């Protein structure tokens, strides 16, 4: 099964215009770059039948009626925010993002703008967002709220039925956007009033550290008035971080499901599912292993990003044993290698070390992440700064090392060869190279 197929089919190939790759002139909140790991929670009525979040009715996999009938089965009966927060803290996360409202329009809080909420329409009958925010704060985690700009349930959102030639399998779709210029302006204005009012409830009521937007692609920047929206949000909470799904008005880029081969220059965050689904789907057993997740995490932070790892709780709020085990596996690795994770920055460009690297903020320690068991040596090329000490994280064992070769007269450094550690981390062994000064690299083409 490919549970994400609806999502990938239902989206334009490239929903992010070039200007959207994280901005810009804004000063990023320092907590964000230091956080490294966030947990992304898609929790909603779609977990009742285990269908794709929102996309299942959009793409006609289930009828709208059958989708909304899941309201009756959403109980949140086992939801314990403190247990979630404890698990996420053990996983090594510093922030979490919960779907306050996905494209289906079902709010997890008691919105006054509509009765379509888990508070008014499901057996859960309570404000889950309030419980979530309270619990995360008690555990020192920064709180993020996911909010879909578009709302496929709102009567004024889709102002015309239309057929999208780029998505021929969806005919006469009643949920999505009309071509620009063909919508009913009055209804669109009413929708924007609703959109802004819900956001005001979220920002003033829950004071999130981060707003994680989605569903921007169905209208233009001008239709959404994104620039104005950014100003409105910052006027309500000056330090709120905004992701880039604001058509050029966000703070950081959000590549999805794969570490970018060429990392974005500015701040960024990879969102990644543990299996193939954002929300809970019992049939999706295609989980990434803890080792695969740890490797992706190291590659991400080495390239200057954060990992936002997606967890899909069941309708009652349980995080499955499979997902729990992977979070704990990642947390164990982070705990053993904390020094190479928190307080570090993106490492050196590819080619100096055959694996990810991270760099301490004072630029005096370079961390070499060894993805595989080293054999004869671990090598670092192009290092100009003299080395003070080389050791293994976790055990602290010192490692013998020597620099061999180079062309000193022409500034070409030799290769630093490090003896392999006797004891290896079960996943990624990290070697700390302490430097006698700030990192300086040779990036030239050689002499001759
Ligand atoms: C994709 C999916 C959407 C999900 C989002 C998270 O866009 O279509 O359902 O919420 O990814 O980034």
Domain end point (choices 275, 303, 336) = 336
Do 72 and 162 belong together in one domain?
Answer: yes
Q: Per the domain annotation, does 7 fall within a domain?
A: no
- Substitution site in 5, 152, 214 for ligand 1 pocket (most atoms within 8 Å of beta carbon): 214
The pLDDT tens digits along the chain (448 residues) read 222 333 333 333 233 333 343 444 456 899 999 999 999 999 999 999 999 999 999 888 999 999 999 999 999 999 999 999 999 999 999 999 999 999 999 999 999 999 999 999 999 999 999 999 999 999 999 999 999 999 999 988 875 445 556 656 555 555 666 655 667 888 889 999 999 999 999 999 999 999 999 999 888 899 899 999 999 999 999 999 999 999 999 999 999 999 999 999 899 999 999 999 999 999 999 999 999 999 999 999 999 999 999 999 999 999 999 999 999 999 999 999 999 999 899 999 999 999 999 999 999 999 999 999 999 999 999 999 999 999 999 999 999 999 999 999 999 999 999 999 999 999 999 999 999 999 999 999 988 8
Ligand 1: centre distance to CA 253 (Å)? 14
Alpha carbons 426 and 410: distance in angstroms, whole number? 41
Ligand 1: centre distance to CA 163 (Å)? 22
**Nearest atom, ligand 1, residue 256 CA:** 12
Ligand 1: centre distance to CA 7 (Å)? 7
Do 287 and 363 belong together in one domain?
Answer: no
Alpha carbons 109 and 149: distance in angstroms, whole number? 16
Q: If we measure between CA atoms, which residue out of 231, 234, 151 comes closest to residue 194? A: 151
Structure tokens at 405: 């070769």
Q: Per the domain annotation, does 445 fall within a domain?
A: no
Domain end point (choices 336, 369, 393) = 336
Q: Which alpha helices (H) appear in 303-386, and where do they start and end?
A: 321-336
Do 43 and 74 belong together in one domain?
Answer: yes
Do 41 and 92 belong together in one domain?
Answer: yes
Q: Is the CB of 7 under 6 A from ligand 1?
A: yes
Phi then psi for 375, rounded to 5 degrees? -100, -95
Q: Per the domain annotation, does 76 fall within a domain?
A: yes
pLDDT at 172: 56
**Nearest atom, ligand 1, residue 55 CA:** 9
Alpha carbons 279 and 447: distance in angstroms, whole number? 55
Ligand 1: centre distance to CA 170 (Å)? 18
Q: Per the domain annotation, does 444 fall within a domain?
A: no
Ligand 1: centre distance to CA 357 (Å)? 29
Contact 378, 431 (CB under 8 A): yes
Domain end point (choices 292, 314, 336) = 336
Do 277 and 367 belong together in one domain?
Answer: no
Ligand 1: centre distance to CA 16 (Å)? 13
Q: Is the CB of 276 under 6 A from ligand 1?
A: no
Q: Per the domain annotation, does 8 fall within a domain?
A: no
SS3 assignment, position 234 = helix
Q: Is the CB of 251 under 6 A from ligand 1?
A: no
Alpha carbons 211 and 250: distance in angstroms, whole number? 10
pLDDT at 13: 29
Do 184 and 85 belong together in one domain?
Answer: yes
Do 272 and 388 belong together in one domain?
Answer: no
Q: What's the predicted TM-score (pTM) here?
A: 0.91
User: CA-CA distances (angstroms) from residue 424 to 150, 295, 301, 371, 427?
Assistant: 48, 15, 21, 11, 8
What one-character DSSP code corresponds to residue 383?
B
C-alpha angle 243/49/4, rounded to 5°? 45
Do 253 and 177 belong together in one domain?
Answer: yes
Q: Per the domain annotation, does 40 fall within a domain?
A: yes
List, as one string, the DSSP characters of 167-224.
STTS-SBSSSPPPTT-S-HHHHHHHHHHHHHHHHHHHHHH--SEEEEE--TTS-HHHH
- CATH number of the domain encompassing residue 372: 2.60.40.1180
Q: Per the domain annotation, does 402 fall within a domain?
A: yes
Alpha carbons 281 and 401: distance in angstroms, whole number? 50
Question: In this structure, which residue's CA is closest to atom 4 in ligand 1?
Answer: 278
Q: Is the CB of 104 under 6 A from ligand 1?
A: no
Ligand 1: centre distance to CA 445 (Å)? 43
Range of the domain at 380: 344-435
Whole-angstrom Cα Rg for the chain = 24
335-358 burial, b at 16+ Cβ within 10 Å, e below that, comes to: ebbebbbbebebbbeeebbebbbb
Ligand 1: centre distance to CA 418 (Å)? 43
Question: In this structure, which residue's CA is closest to atom 2 in ligand 1?
Answer: 7
Q: Is the CB of 53 under 6 A from ligand 1?
A: yes
Do 164 and 303 belong together in one domain?
Answer: yes
Q: Which residue has the tokens 């959009």?
A: 58
Do 379 and 348 belong together in one domain?
Answer: yes
Could you tell me which residues come within 8 angstroms of residue 246 by beta carbon, excluding any fewer than 6 positions away? 20, 213, 216, 224, 226, 229, 230
Phi then psi for 372, rounded to 5 degrees? -120, 165
Question: In this structure, which residue's CA is closest to atom 1 in ligand 1?
Answer: 7
Q: Is the CB of 214 under 6 A from ligand 1?
A: yes
Q: Is the CB of 213 under 6 A from ligand 1?
A: no
Q: Per the domain annotation, does 120 fall within a domain?
A: yes
State the CB neighbour count (10 A cutoff) for residue 25: 4
- CATH number of the domain encompassing residue 36: 3.20.20.80
Q: Is the CB of 271 under 6 A from ligand 1?
A: yes
Q: Which residues pair with 279 in a beta bridge?
A: none
Alpha carbons 231 and 233: distance in angstroms, whole number? 5
Do 256 and 373 belong together in one domain?
Answer: no
What is the total count of domains within the chain?
A: 2
**Nearest atom, ligand 1, residue 54 CA:** 9
Torsion angle (degrees, nearest 10) of CA 388, 390, 394, 395: -100
pLDDT at 11: 35
Q: Is the CB of 256 under 6 A from ligand 1?
A: yes
Structure tokens at 36: 């490294």
Do 78 and 50 belong together in one domain?
Answer: yes
**Nearest atom, ligand 1, residue 148 CA:** 10
């Amino acid at each position: 099964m490919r549970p994400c197929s609806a999502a990938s089919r239902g989206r334009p190939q490239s929903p992010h215009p070039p200007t959207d790759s994280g901005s810009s002139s804004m000063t990023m909140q320092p907590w964000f770059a230091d956080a490294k790991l966030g947990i992304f929670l898609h929790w909603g009525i779609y977990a009742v039948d285990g269908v794709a979040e929102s996309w299942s009715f959009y793409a006609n996999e289930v009828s709208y009626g059958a989708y909304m009938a899941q309201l009756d089965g959403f109980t949140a009966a086992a939801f314990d925010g403190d247990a979630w927060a404890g698990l996420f803290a053990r996983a090594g996360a510093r922030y979490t993002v919960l779907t306050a409202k996905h494209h289906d329009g079902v709010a997890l809080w008691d919105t006054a703008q509509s009765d379509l909420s888990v508070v008014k329409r499901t057996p859960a009958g309570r404000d889950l967002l309030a419980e979530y925010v309270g619990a995360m704060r008690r555990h020192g985690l920064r709180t993020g709220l996911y909010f879909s700009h578009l709302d496929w349930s709102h009567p004024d959102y889709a102002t015309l039925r239309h057929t999208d030639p780029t998505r021929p399998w969806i005919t006469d779709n009643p949920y999505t956007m009309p071509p620009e210029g063909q919508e009913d302006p009055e209804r669109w204005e009413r929708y924007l009033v609703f959109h802004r009012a819900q956001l005001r409830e979220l920002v003033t009521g829950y004071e999130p550290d981060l707003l994680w937007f989605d569903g921007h692609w169905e209208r233009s920047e001008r239709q959404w008035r994104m620039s104005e929206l950014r100003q409105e949000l910052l006027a309500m909470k000056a330090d709120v971080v905004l992701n880039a799904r604001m058509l050029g008005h966000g703070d950081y880029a959000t590549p999805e499901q794969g570490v970018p081969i060429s990392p974005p220059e500015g701040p960024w965050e990879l969102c990644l599912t543990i299996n193939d689904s954002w929300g809970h789907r019992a049939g999706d057993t295609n989980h990434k292993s803890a080792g695969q997740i740890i490797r992706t995490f190291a590659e991400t932070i080495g390239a200057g990003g954060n990992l936002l790892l997606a967890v899909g709780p069941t309708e009652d709020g349980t995080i499955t044993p499979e997902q729990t085990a992977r979070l704990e596996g990642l947390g164990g690795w982070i705990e053993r290698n904390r020094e190479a994770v928190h307080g570090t920055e993106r490492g050196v460009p590819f080619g100096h070390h055959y694996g990810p690297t991270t760099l301490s903020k004072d630029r005096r320690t370079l961390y070499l992440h060894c993805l595989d068991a080293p054999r004869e040596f671990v090598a670092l090329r192009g290092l100009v700064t003299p080395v003070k000490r080389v050791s293994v994280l976790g055990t602290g064992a010192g490692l013998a090392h020597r620099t061999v070769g180079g062309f000193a007269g022409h500034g070409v450094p030799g290769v630093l060869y490090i003896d392999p550690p006797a004891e290896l981390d079960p996943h990624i062994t990290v070697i700390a190279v302490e430097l006698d000064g700030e990192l300086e690299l040779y990036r030239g083409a050689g002499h001759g």
